[in-house]
Structure 1
């Protein structure tokens, strides 16, 4: 198989023209082309002329003859395949337990179920149908369910996001994750789009189908089932206590979300080794999507064949990273708290990305120099900011907000932006929300972004706070076999455990863990 890079189509051309482009690039006849498939699709907007740029995998009759031509951007593709999975020889006496049903837990459970291990999943939050109702009740009445919300429940926090599948790893499991999503109803274009996304509305249905397959294969999923403690004897995890019941297993997978603060503290008190890790805090910024399209597509903005534009910006201020995160085109800012008396923001988009505003987090990296030494000092720092955001918002779950010009203390203006946070905002001074050094770094970051993206020059863009849950403030220590360094038979995985960031990397970590379990244990005791 050959891979062709930089096959370009203008906006006036369609993908039906790709075959002609391939034949011309390879200098062959149609009869010499056996098949082709899209590998990657991107938008090249670096120059005045805007193109779609494709990488395409091609099968031809005479591969050697084409390679002998030494054509530019044509290369032989060396296949990368995972070694087949074979059950191990250690007897597994009980079905494996998975704590948490976000992306890491879900993909671990699905892989185990497909290999006959019939996992038992325990999720503190509700299944997605009830979860949607609970989130809507919070938006409409301001009544928060601390166990069923944007953070906790089936699918994890990623269910109420954009369903972005950004992967900055070359792990061969990336394609496996995308394939599994498509098999359960995700749009086919995630297989080749350079910036794949599912959309929250479709992700809800995909999550339900994954749940249904796990159950059909003999697994079980227990919602509204918060694990209260681990059963640990002589530094070996023997099971869990959930709903006041002791449930035993030779394998316990901890797939917690990064908001599971009470669980971190409870398990640490039982002797599970953890450490503090750096993370980031900040706010959400909103512009109109029209302004983002114009800033990135210029005169092509509004063309029917173009998707909503997105961006990713970074800057370094005195050795600290300031960056945009989880950019949601045509989306909204959401109320993402899981604790009464706290305000947390995040962003989400549906598949169509057709709402008026675009939003993204602007985050500043923080570490022990900002919040002090101690395993839970970072977590306590997050909580302090969330409580202050609640107070500044009016102590009614409205979010504190401010125009960029006021935050930067300059006189710039521009089109007015209507905030999309569902419970309303209270305009206030966000410089009172964040520590002075973080405010300074964020201000410098925004000024740098104004030079990179014209939409950021609008002083009326809205900042809404506070964003604290982009990654976990702790890491549950594990070895190269993914097993806790302090507690045998305990497998901490995913974002909450400190080993992933986002849907794709969490799903990959879940698959890796399933492979470790399968390679070690047979499934005879799971039948």
Structure 2
């Protein structure tokens, strides 16, 4: 097949127009194109308000020597290649002299997965399809009941410590924006496999090629339930409301996919001697704007038809302050809500959430700052990052009595204004107050100048996105669960402690979102399956 990139097209051009444009680049008629696949689509807004889609496509040609044609054209945007198709490993026919189907009928041979977020789901799916009949432990509830618990938190402020925006079927990503983009290089087709699985269970086909694919909480709820049902239909088992407690000598193959908020489990694993190291991570705040202001800054003046086609716009920005600290946007949530994402009593953290339509009229994003392990004592204690996160969250909780504290940006800048901020959070579970104390982490002297650095960064972002640092921009506290502050060490085969124990996903420190966690879950499941080949 031939891959052609950088095909610039009008926003409303369809597949036939794209084919003709591709054929023109090959100096051929589109009638010779047989197989045709859109690999990627992104928006080019450099000459706003004149906007374009830029495509990369795969195609095959009838009656044309593709290799000779590509050599003749000598273009870096036209290459001979083909899409990588994911191929899952298979079990040997016999394991320890027993037929593989019979082997995994025995309870003691079935592998255990702890956690049913993206890493646990996709490792479970792969193991179930291979015939291993995994047993999956999830401390939270099935997604249908979990949705009720999350709604109670958002509308009444009532927290269930075991079933909330962090814990439960689908993991933390289910009640967030549902973004599926990743920076992980993928030479084995795992990314495409994950996306195709989501599409199979109800996601829009556009996620297969959009540069910034998005599902949305409403769609994810039904998708993760469908994934679970397939696992169960293949002999797997999901035990909800069941927190797994680790043992010194695990008797079965084990995949640890506990997520970045399972702090009690990290402490349990550390006490058992699992190798862990602290790592750099980030935390900060969440800012909210009018979506129309962000759209105008990024796209210019566009008509409603174009706006409906493009959907709510998103941004990615960063700034390095004079105090040598990086501030940057994270998990930008177009057309969504700022929501309480807490999982512990007495602590409070926030996240961005959106439905598939992204139609709230508001745009929000985390604006976070980098924290090195040297700044919070991580060199001496692998769990020290958890202590930092908790201190941050406790301050936020006490500031507004358990509601999410927020402030207008002009108050943070100390610009006089008596205008009342409008609480735009989902169901109004927020309280306007002075959040300046959240910038002062007294127990961490190396984390000084945060308020000054935040203001400097917001003003720098204004130069990139007009209106970003307007006085009525809302700043919510705190965004502390961007990633795991530690890593459970593993070897080249993804296992640890020299046994069939596989730390996986975001909690173990090997992923940073739905896609990378799902792909990591596939990696460890592949390694477990291949380990049976080695034992014969």
TM over 0.5: yes
User: Would you say 1:283 and 2:300 are equivalent positions?
Assistant: no
1:465 aligned partner: 477
Alignment partner of 1:115 out of 130, 140, 152: 130
After superposition, residues 69-80 of structure 1 pair within 5 angstroms as 69-71=73-75, 73-80=77-84
Residue 84 to residue 331, structure 1, CA distance change in 2 (3 Å)? closer
Matches of 2:138 and 2:535 in 1, distance apart? 25
After superposition, residues 358-437 of structure 1 pair within 5 angstroms as 358-373=363-378, 374-393=381-400, 395=401, 397-410=402-415, 418-435=423-440, 436-437=448-449
Residue 12 to residue 80, structure 1, CA distance change in 2 (3 Å)? closer
1:9 aligned partner: 9
After superposition, residues 174-193 of structure 1 pair within 5 angstroms as 174-193=191-210
1:245 aligned partner: none
Residue 416 to residue 306, structure 1, CA distance change in 2 (3 Å)? farther
| Cα deviation code 1:116-160 (max 9, x no counterpart) | 111000000000000001111222322211111100000000000
8 Å Cα contact 2:157/2:403 also seen in 1:
no
> Partner of 1:456: helix, strand, or coil?
coil
Matches of 2:533 and 2:242 in 1, distance apart? 27
User: Would you say 1:205 and 2:208 are equivalent positions?
Assistant: no
Matches of 2:25 and 2:14 in 1, distance apart? 17
Alignment partner of 1:151 out of 155, 166, 190: 166
Give TM-score scaled by structure 1 length. Answer: 0.91
User: Would you say 1:498 and 2:498 are equivalent positions?
Assistant: no
How far does residue 352 in structure 1 lie from its aligned partner after superposition? 0.7
Aligned residue pair count = 507
How far does residue 268 in structure 1 lie from its aligned partner after superposition? 1.2
Give TM-score scaled by structure 2 length. Answer: 0.90
8 Å Cα contact 2:42/2:54 also seen in 1:
yes
User: Would you say 1:31 and 2:24 are equivalent positions?
Assistant: no
Alignment partner of 1:349 out of 342, 349, 354: 354
After superposition, residues 477-516 of structure 1 pair within 5 angstroms as 477-484=489-496, 486=497, 488-516=499-527
Matches of 2:327 and 2:424 in 1, distance apart? 23
How far does residue 464 in structure 1 lie from its aligned partner after superposition? 0.4
Alignment partner of 1:475 out of 487, 490, 504: 487
8 Å Cα contact 1:400/1:425 also seen in 2:
yes
Matches of 2:507 and 2:516 in 1, distance apart? 12
* RMSD of aligned Cα (Å): 2.3
1:272 aligned partner: 274
After superposition, residues 237-386 of structure 1 pair within 5 angstroms as 237-238=250-251, 249=252, 251-300=253-302, 302=304, 303=306, 304-317=308-321, 318-373=323-378, 374-386=381-393
How far does residue 410 in structure 1 lie from its aligned partner after superposition? 4.1
How far does residue 440 in structure 1 lie from its aligned partner after superposition? 2.6
8 Å Cα contact 1:9/1:52 also seen in 2:
yes
2:56 aligned partner: 55
How far does residue 52 in structure 1 lie from its aligned partner after superposition? 1.0
8 Å Cα contact 1:399/1:423 also seen in 2:
no
Residue 413 to residue 199, structure 1, CA distance change in 2 (3 Å)? farther
8 Å Cα contact 1:155/1:207 also seen in 2:
yes
8 Å Cα contact 1:446/1:456 also seen in 2:
yes
Matches of 1:487 and 1:388 in 2, distance apart? 41
Matches of 1:181 and 1:167 in 2, distance apart? 15
2:111 aligned partner: 96
Gaps of 5+ in 1: 239-248
| Cα deviation code 1:311-341 (max 9, x no counterpart) | 0111122433211011111000111001112
Deviates more, 1:314-323 or 1:198-207: 314-323
| Cα deviation code 1:143-202 (max 9, x no counterpart) | 211111100000000000111011102213111211222122221111100001111110
